[in-house]
Structure 1
């Protein structure tokens, strides 16, 4: 249904893929392996670097790619060709002051080199788009990590979100990345799980309040 195709998704990798199965047009999606599907679903995955604290959360990106592969989707990865906000030494959890890195170059590590600049991502070439989590979404795809509700979103990220939303095509948002849609698409319904930490079970529950301040609608769910 058109309503499903336009739905805003903000869930873990298996749930993203399940939701995409339901949202993509029957004549396009190949997730069920039916002979009626003339071609595989074409899914864009937008990365934000390589490493949870300054880029893409690698576990999330890998899980997404595995489940898309199992579903028979054709995947193309993209990233903005911009400098990272900063570089984190992941062994220490501290900024590496003397280093600077490029988001596209770092994202290519996850993509094994098969990646394109975000400027080349179009709705005409893809049936859905997914944004894995990681602090890169809040640092490199936007300034949310620094500016909170007053953040700015990378203009190419904003273009992609608006174009897919206008086209009624599924948008998958994992972990912290729902803030991107909340900022760009007024009234978008997204989730980061629960709105209370509940003893550490939902460590980023406070983001739910920020989503509301950004103009989005937060839905309490059991996934992020």
Structure 2
């Protein structure tokens, strides 16, 4: 922040053109210039940076695994998580309506702002500087990815494949509880395996979500 109140440094980059940073953080609800055009450019840049790092880090992965991994890293919730790490929300410029409804916390707005910020850094400092500034944002997400052959597969699918690969019986899912108000349903599911003998439970706002949680718990037990 300069002494005149203009924000000119953010996320490790000092902007030669602070107007680019302000535009990147301005939602269309606040008027023009807003960040939609920057978001378009940033989306392409993020995809390229992530594709390159996956290509280098996973030399044995096929195209399908690389594509699924890239989709995991650049999806809305992942970018919104980066935005929260960077503390972008409080710095967003929003219109009165979006401010009233908590737009600075909404995943879609936060993810768009990350892409716009990437484009702003690129336009301000060039490709190499942008790449150097942005790739560290994705390092924790990259480190948290499962093995290439597991990326993009949900817990139920991974559990089924693990069991089938060893010719074990498939899991049985049973509903233990369903309750709550219409707008806040709660489901509890039990996942039972015959081999290895194991029972786990999961809870979620839908039956599918609860089954996924129970399957994830079973996988963790197996891997442990």
> Normalising to structure 2: TM-score of the pair?
0.22
Larger radius of gyration: 2
